[in-house]
């Protein structure tokens, strides 16, 4: 019978800074599903999500010495690495080229019409906060944060001026801060 190891965040960080492989296995076992969920919501492609997840954990392992506990929690740091890596992948020439080649039903963009829904984010509790925003702010924040769109891409996608996108995004973020009390 195998005993299950449990580490406090401080113990885990200390072991990871020493490049302890069993601590890294623990990290993967306990955080991979959550990070994969974030990736899948952004790319909507299971195979690509698995590739990005693997690359994210390699990056976490190789760059762990850069993690600073005073700047945030371990999970937040890992989310940022994973999210940024996903956005980089989506913006890469290779990904864009593959999307042009693949014009089947699976390559349809998530944003399809004015009735854009945030229901898929309900599992992380964001829906209740986004519902308090105006619909135009909600869509813009959704596209920017969860789908990795730039403000220019949102402007083109929605057919509105770039200045309007920036204003709505800023106003929406300010409202979210009030709601989340940051």
What are the structural domains of the chain?
9-101 (1.10.1740.10), 109-180 (1.10.10.10)
Reference 80, options 95, 63, 99; nearest CA is: 63
**Predicted TM-score of the model (pTM):** 0.52
User: pLDDT at position 134, please?
Assistant: 85
User: pLDDT at position 128, please?
Assistant: 72
Among all chains, which residue has been given the structure tokens 């700047």? 71
Reference 79, options 9, 145, 25; nearest CA is: 145
- Residue 113 parent element (H or E): none
User: pLDDT at position 125, please?
Assistant: 57
User: pLDDT at position 165, please?
Assistant: 92
Contact residues for 87 (Cβ-Cβ < 8 A; gap 6+): 42, 148
User: pLDDT at position 99, please?
Assistant: 59
User: pLDDT at position 45, please?
Assistant: 79
Apex CA 83: angle with CA 129 and CA 155, to 5°? 70
User: pLDDT at position 135, please?
Assistant: 83
User: pLDDT at position 4, please?
Assistant: 60
Reference 83, options 59, 111, 107, 116; nearest CA is: 59
**pLDDT lower than 50: segments of the chain:** 1, 3, 103-124
User: pLDDT at position 61, please?
Assistant: 92
User: pLDDT at position 104, please?
Assistant: 44
């Amino acid at each position: 019978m195998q005993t299950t190891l449990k580490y406090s965040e401080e113990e885990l960080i200390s072991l990871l800074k020493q490049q302890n492989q069993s601590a890294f296995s623990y990290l993967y076992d306990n955080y991979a599903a959550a990070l994969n969920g974030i990736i899948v919501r952004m790319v909507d492609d299971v195979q690509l999500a698995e590739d990005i997840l693997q690359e994210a954990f390699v990056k976490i392992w190789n760059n762990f010495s850069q993690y600073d506990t005073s700047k945030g929690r371990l999970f937040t740091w890992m989310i940022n690495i994973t999210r940024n890596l996903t956005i980089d992948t989506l913006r890469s020439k290779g990904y864009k080229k593959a999307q042009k080649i693949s014009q089947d039903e699976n390559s349809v963009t998530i944003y399809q019409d004015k009735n854009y829904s945030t229901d898929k984010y309900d599992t992380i509790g964001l829906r209740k906060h986004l519902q308090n925003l105006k619909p135009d702010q909600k869509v813009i924040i959704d596209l920017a944060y969860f789908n990795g769109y730039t403000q220019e891409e949102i402007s083109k996608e929605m057919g509105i001026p770039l200045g309007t996108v920036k204003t709505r995004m800023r106003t929406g973020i300010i409202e979210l801060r009030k709601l989340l009390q940051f």
